[in-house]
C-alpha cells in the first residue's frame, strides 16, 4: 500500500484533545505514522501522495461496543431464529457492509447466533467480504428460561455456567456475555429481576479471566448490576437502574458501563412493516428505561465510572443497523456530554472496553489507520457524523 498524507482537514484524534485545524495525517503501511498541524509536517512526508481534505473533518473510525450482527433489527429475534441459517448468514453479510459504510470500523458482537458471527469475522479478516473489525462473544449465557433463552446457552449453577463460558471461548469468543437481569426483548420478563447469581457470574468471570477474556453482563435492575460488579465482570451493558453505591463499587473495581440508548428510542414514524404490535408492547417499557437511564448517566458521570457506548442494533425488531452509532452519539449529547466527549466515548473509551487500545480508538502514531472524513463539523452539531465523505479501514478507502 502506498503511503499518503491526508491534508487540510480539522483533526479530532479521539484522545479527547481539542481539534487541530489545518492538520495532516500521514498513513504508512495501513497505520498512522504521524498526525498534527500541517506546518509541522516532517519534510520527508511531504513527498507522499496527497489526499486533499481541506474544509473537511477527520475522526477515528467509530466503535460499536454492543451490537448483534446476526439479527436484522427489523424483525424480532424470536421470529428470525426459525429462518433458514443460510439466509441469516447472507443477511449478516449485508449488515456488516452497511455498518462499515456508516463509519463504524469496529464492533463487538455481544450475542450471536449459532456462531455465524464467528464465520462472518473470519470472512472479513480474510478479505472475502467488507465489514468492521470484530470482537465476538458467541452465544449469550442465561439461566434456564432467562433473558433471550431462545438464543442462549442455558446454564444453571456455577459449574455449568463455567462450562458454558469455556464453550464460548473454545468457539472463539473474546468476551463472555451473560444475562444478569430480565430483558425487554423477551416477552413477559421483569427487567428489574436479577437472574444469574453472584456465584454463577463469578464462575464465568474466573474462567474468562484465566483465558485472558473479558466478561460483559446484560443488566437493567440494580440487583443484577450489583451482582455483576461483585462477581468481577468487566462491563455492565445498559446499566439502567444504576445507583450511587454500585457506581462507587464500579469505580473501585474498574467496571465499565456500556450505554445503549438509541435502541430504547425507536422512531415511531419508522416502525418496520408488521411490527406495530411489537412497537406498542415495547413503547412503555422503553419510555421507563430511557427515563431511568438519564439518572444512571448522571450518577456514572458524577462518580467517574468509565463509560462506553453501543447501539444494541439487531437486538429487537425496532433496532436497525442504519447509522445507529450516529444515533448513539446524538443520545450521548442529549444526555449532557459535549460532542467532543461523546466522540471520545465511542472511540477511545470503547477501544479500551474491547481491550484494543494498542491498535484502535485514537489517531496517534502506531495505531491502525481507521478513520472517517466528514463533510461537516461534528463538534458544531453531532448529527454531522452522518455527513460522510469517506471511510478508511486499515488505511484503505472503503
Ligand atoms: Zn444486546
Domains of the chain: 4-61+362-397 (2.30.40.10), 62-322 (3.20.20.140)
Mean pLDDT of 153-175: 98
pLDDT for the residue numbered 166: 98
Strands 62-67 and 388-393, by their bridges, are unpaired
109 Cα: distance to centroid of ligand 1 (angstroms): 9
Q: Are strands 4-11 and 57-60 parallel, antiparallel or unpaired?
A: parallel
Output the CA 113–ligand 1 centroid distance in Å: 12
66 CA → ligand 1 middle, Å? 6
Instruction: Indicate whether 176 pLDDT > 90.
Output: yes
Q: How confident is the model at residue 35 (pLDDT cuts 50, 70, 90)?
A: very high
The pocket of ion ligand 1, defined by CB under 5 A, consists of 312, 315
Quote the ligand 1 centre to 151 CA distance (angstroms).
12
Residue 199's CB: how many other CB atoms inside 10 A?
12
Residue 132 banded pLDDT, cuts 50, 70, 90: very high
Cα 170 to ligand 1 centre (Å)? 22
Ligand 1 centroid to 312 CA: how many Å? 5
pTM reported for the whole predicted model:
0.97
| Residue 147 Cα to ligand 1 middle (Å) | 11
Q: H/E/C letters for each residue in 21-67?
A: EEEEEEEECCEEEEEEEHHHCCHHHHHCEEEECCCCEEEECEEEEEE
Task: Say what the pLDDT of residue 187 is.
Answer: 83
Q: What is the mean pLDDT of the chain?
A: 96
Which of the pair, 179 or 271, is modelled with greater confidence? Answer: 179
Model pLDDT for residues 188-211, shown as the tens digit of each residue: 899 999 999 999 999 999 999 999
Interval between CA 217 and ligand 1 midpoint (Å): 10
Burial class (CB in 10 A: 0-12, 13-18, 19+), 152: buried
- Distance (Å) from CA 237 to ligand 1 centroid: 8
Ligand 1 geometric centre to CA of 160 (Å): 23
Q: Which DSSP symbol is given to 269?
A: G
As a whole number of angstroms, the distance between CA 218 and CA 214 comes to 14
Q: How far is the CA of 176 from the centre of ligand 1 (A)?
A: 13
Distance of CA 227 to the CA centre of its chain: 23
- Centre of ligand 1 to C-alpha 60, Å, is 24
Spell 350-368 as b/e; 16+ CB within 10 A means b.
Answer: bbbbbebeeebbbbeeebb
Q: How far is the CA of 355 from the centre of ligand 1 (A)?
A: 19
Instruction: State whether residue 152 is helix, strand or coil.
Output: coil
How far is the centre of ligand 1, averaged over its atoms, from the C-alpha of 138 (Å)?
Answer: 12
Distance 8 CA to ligand 1 centre (A): 39
Query: Given a cut of 90, is residue 283 above it in pLDDT?
Result: no
Q: Give the mean pLDDT of 149-166.
A: 97
Residue 264: what pLDDT? 87
Confidence class for position 152, pLDDT limits 50, 70, 90:
very high
Distance 68 CA to ligand 1 centre (A): 7
Amino acid at each position: 500500500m502506498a503511503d499518503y498524507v491526508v491534508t487540510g482537514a480539522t483533526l479530532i484524534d479521539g484522545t479527547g484533545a481539542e481539534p487541530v485545524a489545518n492538520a495532516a495525517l500521514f498513513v504508512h503501511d495501513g497505520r498512522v505514522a504521524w498526525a498534527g498541524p500541517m506546518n509541522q509536517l516532517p519534510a520527508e512526508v511531504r513527498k507522499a501522495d496527497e489526499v486533499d481534505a481541506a474544509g473537511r473533518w477527520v475522526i477515528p473510525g467509530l466503535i460499536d461496543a454492543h451490537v448483534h450482527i446476526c439479527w436484522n433489527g427489523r424483525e424480532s429475534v424470536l421470529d428470525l431464529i426459525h429462518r433458514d441459517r443460510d439466509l441469516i448468514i447472507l443477511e449478516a453479510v449485508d449488515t456488516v457492509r452497511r455498518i462499515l459504510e456508516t463509519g463504524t470500523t469496529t464492533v463487538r458482537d455481544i450475542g450471536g447466533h449459532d456462531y455465524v458471527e464467528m464465520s462472518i469475522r473470519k470472512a472479513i479478516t480474510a478479505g472475502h467480504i467488507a465489514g468492521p473489525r470484530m470482537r465476538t462473544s458467541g452465544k449469550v449465557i442465561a439461566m434456564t428460561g432467562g433473558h433471550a433463552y431462545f438464543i442462549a446457552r442455558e446454564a444453571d449453577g456455577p459449574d455449568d455456567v463455567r462450562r458454558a463460558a469455556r464453550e464460548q471461548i473454545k468457539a472463539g469468543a473474546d468476551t463472555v456475555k451473560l444475562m444478569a437481569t430480565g430483558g425487554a426483548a423477551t416477552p413477559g420478563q421483569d427487567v428489574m429481576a436479577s437472574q444469574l447469581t453472584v456465584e454463577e457470574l463469578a464462575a464465568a468471570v474466573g474462567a474468562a479471566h484465566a483465558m485472558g477474556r473479558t466478561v460483559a453482563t446484560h443488566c437493567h435492575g440494580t440487583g443484577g448490576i450489583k451482582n455483576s460488579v461483585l462477581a468481577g465482570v468487566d462491563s455492565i451493558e445498559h446499566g439502567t437502574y444504576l445507583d450511587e453505591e454500585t457506581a462507587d463499587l464500579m469505580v473501585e473495581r474498574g467496571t465499565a458501563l456500556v450505554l445503549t440508548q438509541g435502541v430504547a428510542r425507536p422512531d415511531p414514524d419508522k416502525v418496520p412493516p408488521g411490527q406495530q404490535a411489537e412497537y406498542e408492547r415495547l413503547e412503555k417499557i422503553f419510555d421507563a428505561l430511557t427515563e431511568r437511564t438519564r439518572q444512571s448517566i448522571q450518577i456514572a458521570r458524577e462518580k467517574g465510572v468509565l463509560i462506553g457506548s453501543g447501539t444494541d442494533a439487531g437486538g429487537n425488531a425496532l433496532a436497525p443497523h442504519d447509522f445507529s452509532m450516529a444515533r448513539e452519539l446524538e443520545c450521548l449529547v442529549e444526555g449532557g456530554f459535549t460532542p467532543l466527549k461523546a466522540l471520545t466515548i465511542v472511540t477511545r473509551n470503547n477501544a479500551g472496553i474491547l481491550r484494543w487500545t494498542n491498535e484502535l480508538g485514537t489517531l496517534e502514531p502506531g495505531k491502525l489507520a481507521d478513520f472517517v472524513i466528514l463533510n461537516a463539523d461534528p463538534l458544531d452539531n453531532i448529527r454531522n457524523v452522518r455527513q460522510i465523505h469517506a471511510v478508511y479501514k486499515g488505511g484503505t478507502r472503503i
